[in-house]
Amino acid sequence: QIPVGSEIKGMNILGLVMFALVLGVALKKLGPEGEDLIRFFNSFNEATMVLVTWIMWYVPIGIMFLVGSKIVEMEDIVLLVTSLGKYIFASILGHVIHGGIILPLIYFAATRQNPYLMGHSEHPGALCFISPCSVPSSATLPSMIKCIEENNKVDKRIS
Asked if the model's pLDDT at residue 94 lies above 90, the reply is: yes
Alpha-helical segments (H) within 1-157 = 13-30, 35-73, 77-97, 103-111, 115-121, 123-130, 136-151
In this predicted model, what pLDDT tens digit does every residue of 36-68 receive, in sequence order?
999 999 999 899 999 988 988 899 999 999 988
CB 144 within 8 A of CB 137: no
- Span 75-102, average pLDDT: 92
Kindly indicate the confidence band of residue 14, based on its pLDDT and cuts at 50, 70 and 90.
Answer: confident
What pLDDT, on the 0 to 100 scale, is given for residue 134? Answer: 40
Asked if the model's pLDDT at residue 19 lies above 70, the reply is: yes
Q: What is the DSSP letter of 6?
A: G
This model's pTM is above 0.85: no
In this predicted model, what pLDDT tens digit does every residue of 66-78 receive, in sequence order?
988 988 888 888 8
% of the chain surpassing 90 pLDDT: 30
For 148, other C-beta atoms within 10 Å of its C-beta total 19
Burial of 126 (0-12, 13-18, 19+ CB in 10 A): middle
Kindly indicate the confidence band of residue 114, based on its pLDDT and cuts at 50, 70 and 90.
Answer: confident
Which one has a higher pLDDT value, 22 or 8? 22
The CA distance from 124 to 118, in Å, is 12
In this structure, of 3-7, 9-13, 32-36, 117-121, the range with the lowest mean pLDDT score is 3-7
